[in-house]
A and B are shown apart, each in its own frame.
Chain A
Amino acid sequence: MITPGLYHILFISTALFFIGMYGFFARKNLITMLMSIELILNSVNLNFIAFNKYLWPGRLDGVFFTIFIIAIAAAEAAVAIAIIINLYRSHKSIDVEQTEEMKY
């Protein structure tokens, strides 16, 4: 059995990042886009954990950072969902293509 190394984890993290990126660019539903952002954040979290474990095993900085990011991501999700609910109330839609008023 192969023990997963740093590269494996980085591969997963990169894959997650680009999946999230694709979701953010391609999906029109705001909730889906929010979920994509969560994916991106989680890929970052994975990176932090992996580097912490393989490069500086004696320290905990990366882990703490991850915990912070999770907390902030939760707050961000709450705010984003509040915005989306308000948007839905005014526009009867959460399609990102319908919300183009804020332009020149």
Chain B
Amino acid sequence: MSNALQIALIPLLPLAAFVILGLFGKKYVNRSAGIIATFLLASSAALAFYTAYQYFFEYGKVEGVYQKVTAFKYTWLQFSDQLSIDIGALIDPITAMMLVVVTFISLLVHIYSLAYLKGEKRFATYYAFLGLFTFSMLGLVLSSNIFQMYIFWELVGVSSFLLIGFYYDKPSAVAACKKAFIVTRFADLGFLIGILVLSFYAGTLDFNTLIERLTSLQSAEFKMATAASFMGISALTWGLVLVFIGGAGKSAMFPLHIWLPDAMEGPTPVSALIHAATMVVAGVFLVARLFPVFQISPIAMDVVAYTGIISALIAAVIACTQTDIKRVLAYSTMSQIGFMMFALGVSKTGGEAGLGFTASMFHLFTHAMFKALLFLGAGAVIHYVHSNEMKDMGGLRKYLPITHITFLIACLAISGIPPFAGFFSKEEILLAAYHHYPVIFYTALITSGLTAFYMFRLYFSIFWNKQTQVHSEHSAPHDSEKHGEGGLAMMLPLIVLAMASCLAGFIHFGNFVTADGKPLTTALHLLFSVAPVVLALAGIGIATWLFLRQNDSPVKYSNKLGNLYKAAHQKFYIDELYGFITQKIIFNLVGRPAAWFDKNIVDGLVNETGNGTTTLAEKIKAFQSGKVQQYAIYFLGGVMGLTVLFIYLWK
């Protein structure tokens, strides 16, 4: 196909940025590294937009149905006639959408970082890592082969690790990057086993073939996968659930979410790119990619749906109590991804029932916009205040007017207030859950109310509430002016994203992204939207009442809630639980005995060999006495011995 090169270039340009800046950046182009990387990424983004445009409007649709187009495929490892690992590009609606999201957000983050990390010593390294991440993420969404996806999945994990640990002289950042890597790696083990299970039964690693074989009820592969069972659950379900564990790890779903809040130790633009807009939705993308197969197994779908809703609720509750603004945003991300997950979980294929799928992808799209905006806005605030803590902020609306407006737009969007983007996507998600999953629906309704509350708690605490003293005390006015909002490079992404957050909701997503490729008309039910909007407004109202002016009622009410507040503030002790399980149980029952075995048995063997040799040598060294005549006697003895041997034994 003629556009194979064009598609291949989309991930390869960021890779080029990584290679160039990684090898030569620090020494030769440290200052201009940002410009180079931004330029390369802008080209990549332009190609991605063009590709998406071509796909959606020119060749993607055949007789009204969006096709899966394999742009190119190159066999990398051939195991047998059937089984091979390919490196290829598969374009379908969700890939095209993800290409746009990833390159768009990444480009804005590149631009934003020009100002945000100005003067950073490892400026080029930072951009190199960003390039590596963008490359891996694009490779992930383009994957035509489940194993290729796994490779890029790990690459995404490692670049996330590198970027979280970017300030590696800060112990908390080091701990956070290790935690993120280990937790997601642990989840990826599930993914790998899931891949093996699925590909074993399907006999292929290729997405198209795999989906085709495992979904056609007559195929031999399908029969085998559903007939084989383990602990009363079919192999197919096991495979899917294991794959989902990998996705849940990357997407910070309960109970594998513990790494995401800590990952906020990285630079803020990184949080916007990786831990809000792109990488953390990889799990959603994975489920969406394998959606037809998930569809076969109701149990797997339920796992997806209930994991999603539990994560959404828990994260929203925790977010209400956190004081670090980036952590609030991290929990809110987790909560929103929970929304996307359960939307997938409640969805079916085809027609009106496929609304959940469309809604999930729609929410993924709009969430990327407003959550990146929130993070970048928070970055501007942190840049100004030099602190992550809410108590150091307040009344900043005068100093940061543009940030203030854009942040407000993002808050309205995430709270689901019409006509901002979040309203439309959240509405669709709720509607998808409404008919068959009442429990999920009402929980989601409460959660979206909570979302509005904690977002506006954040908003008021930063921009209203008390007067901040940060700059009034120490620095002269002109200094703070110069410091200001970080110039055009930081403001431009905010403004662009704010516009996207306003307008993204009006895209008719059903026309483009559906579970079966056929367009889906989504009607907006006005009556239905009353309840969520009222709840969101109520949340905002409570937040306004508590946090608009500085007063002591928040403390009073949190005291009234007592243990519940405390538990939520401590993140429901999940970190402690993990700490207990790993440090007390695993370390004591597995780690220590293994260490003992290693120290005493394995090392002991080696040491004993060494000691034995030394002792023996000490004993026999007297043979080499330096006395020539003694040597002669040994020699004579040897000769006589040999003589005897030859004469009597060597017949």
Contacts and interface: CB of A to CB of B under 8 A. Distances in A.
B629 A102 contact: no
Contact of B633 (A25, A99, A100): A25
Contacts of A96: 627-629
A44 to B, nearest CB: 14
A101 B627 contact: no
Interface stretch (B51-59, B396-404, B570-578, B618-626): B618-626
A39 to B, nearest CB: 14
A101 B621 CA distance: 14
Nearest to B628: A96
A104 interface: yes
Contact of A24 (B621, B622, B624, B629): B629
B503 to A, nearest CB: 89
A92 interface: no
Interface in A67-104: 96-97, 99-104
B632 A104 contact: no
B626 A100 contact: yes
A99 B626 CA distance: 8
Interface in A1-35: 21, 24-25, 33
Interface residues of B, number: 11
Contact of B624 (A25, A33, A97, A103): A103
Nearest to B623: A104
Contacts of B627: 96-97, 100
A103 B625 contact: yes
Nearest to A103: B626
Interface in B583-641: 621-622, 624-629, 632-633, 636
A50 B626 CA distance: 38
A103 B622 CA distance: 9
Interface string B136-155: 00000000000000000000
A38 B621 CA distance: 32
Contacts of A33: 629
B629 A104 contact: no
A97 B633 CA distance: 15
B629 A101 contact: no
A99 B630 CA distance: 13
Contacts of A104: 621-622, 624
Contacts of A103: 624-626
Contacts of B621: 104
Contacts, number: 24
Of B622, B624, B629, most buried by chain A (CB within 10 Å of CB) is B629
B625 A25 contact: no
B626 A24 contact: no
A99 B625 CA distance: 11
Contacts of B625: 100, 103
A90 B202 CA distance: 87
A102 B628 CA distance: 10
Contacts of B636: 21
Nearest to A28: B629
A99 B628 CA distance: 9
Contacts of A97: 627
Interface in A43-73: none
Give the most central of B621, B624, B628: most A CB within 10 Å: B628
Nearest to A104: B621
Contacts of B624: 103-104
A104 B566 CA distance: 74
Q: Which of B624, B627, B636 has the most CB of A within 10 A?
A: B627
A25 B626 contact: no
A21 B636 CA distance: 10
Contacts of A102: 626
Contacts of B626: 99-103
A41 B119 CA distance: 89
A99 B632 CA distance: 15
A96 B632 CA distance: 13
Nearest to A102: B626
Nearest to A100: B626
Contacts of B633: 25
Interface string B70-97: 0000000000000000000000000000
B279 to A, nearest CB: 65
B460 to A, nearest CB: 85
Nearest to A101: B626
A103 B631 CA distance: 11
Nearest to A30: B628
Contacts of B632: 24-25
A97 B626 CA distance: 9
Contacts of A99: 626, 628
A40 to B, nearest CB: 11
A101 B624 CA distance: 11
B521 to A, nearest CB: 96
Nearest to A27: B629
A21 to B, nearest CB: 8
Nearest to B618: A104
B421 to A, nearest CB: 85
B615 to A, nearest CB: 15
B613 to A, nearest CB: 15
Nearest to B625: A103
B640 to A, nearest CB: 11
Nearest to A21: B636
A47 B79 CA distance: 75
- Which of A21, A97, A104 lies at the interface centre, i.e. has the most chain B CB atoms within 10 A of its CB? A104
A102 B624 CA distance: 9
24 contacts: A21-B636, A24-B629, A24-B632, A25-B629, A25-B632, A25-B633, A33-B629, A96-B627, A96-B628, A96-B629, A97-B627, A99-B626, A99-B628, A100-B625, A100-B626, A100-B627, A101-B626, A102-B626, A103-B624, A103-B625, A103-B626, A104-B621, A104-B622, A104-B624
Interface of B: 621-622, 624-629, 632-633, 636
A-B pairs with the 10 shortest C-beta distances?
Answer: A103-B626, A100-B626, A104-B621, A102-B626, A104-B624, A103-B624, A103-B625, A25-B629, A96-B628, A100-B627
Given A24-B632, A104-B621, 8 more contacts: A21-B636, A24-B629, A25-B632, A96-B629, A99-B628, A100-B626, A103-B625, A104-B622
